[in-house]
Amino acid sequence: MMRAPITVDPGRWIRVPLDFAEERWEDAAAWAVWVSAAAVPDDAERREGIRAFALAIAELDSSRATARYWHFPDDGEPGMALDVHLAVDDGAGLLPEPADRVVVEPLETAVEVSGFSRAARRRSLVPVGDSTDGDAPVLALVEWAAAVDGIVVGMMATDTDPARLHRLIVDGDALLAGLDGRALARMVRG
């Protein structure tokens, strides 16, 4: 399995294997046990909660992902997973079309990322379910996209807690900055 050339802060992110064929863990369950034991070796109750969370993240659909990282800062609680995916740059907009239904107008911001010709981040609140009233639950969504050498690198994270996802943005920006866009382009274009 080819690994994406990504440099991450191990004090902020844990790489989630997408395929266990060439990993040291047999499967997602074994990886989740390892992560939980490493994270909280002296707290069996908390370790079980982290194991269950890790297993759920490892079993998420990864068909579009090139890499997945779990936001697990040394100085905070574990958060959501962030998927990295690659696409050929077709010259259209950098970010994909926003969701059809949003609670408020999405906030799109250009970001400066070394090694990329252009980059942007969008934050959205998307209503969950079919409810049309103002009390529907929301899903907070942050999307990043950066283009270089004919490819677009995209990242996406979601959470039911907008405040928690807001705290992830700085670390997400840093993860995007840790990508080697040109090496990723060579992976895609051969």
Is 130 found in the same domain as 37? no
How confident is the model at residue 181, as a pLDDT? 83
Domain that holds residue 39: 9-62
Give domain status of residue 68, yes or no.
no
Tell me the residue type at 47: R
The tens place of each residue's pLDDT in the chain, 190 residues long, gives 446 667 889 999 999 999 998 899 999 999 999 999 998 889 999 999 999 999 999 998 888 888 899 999 988 788 888 998 888 877 677 888 887 788 888 999 999 998 899 999 999 988 876 655 566 677 888 999 999 988 899 999 888 788 888 888 989 999 998 888 888 888 777 6
Domain match, 17 and 45 both: yes
Q: Are 114 and 40 found together in one domain? A: no
Strands (E), the chain: 13-16, 67-71, 81-88, 107-110, 118-127, 138-148, 151-159
Cα–Cα distance, 103 to 93 (Å, whole number): 22
Q: Are residues 87 and 49 in the same domain?
A: no
- Identify whether residues 113 and 167 lie together within a single domain: yes
Asked if residue 176 and residue 85 are part of one domain, the reply reads yes
pTM of the model: 0.81
Distance of CA 15 to the CA centre of its chain: 10
* Phi-psi map region of 186: left, alpha, beta (phi>0 left; psi -120 to 50 alpha): alpha
Q: What is the tally of structural domains in the chain?
A: 2
Same domain, residue pair 37 and 112: no
Counting beta carbons within 10 angstroms of the beta carbon of residue 187, is it exposed (0 to 12), middle (13 to 18) or buried (19 or more)?
middle
Decide if 3 is inside a domain: no
**54 and 89 assigned to the same domain:** no
Q: How far apart are CA 171 and CA 72, in angstroms?
A: 10
User: And the tokens for 96?
Assistant: 């994909």
45 falls within a domain? yes
Same domain, 41 and 102: no
- Which two three-digit tokens encode residue 11? 């004090």
- For residue 67, tell me if it sits in a domain: no
Residue 76 to residue 57: CA distance in whole angstroms: 18
Q: Report the pLDDT value the prediction gives residue 122, as an integer from 0 to 100.
A: 94
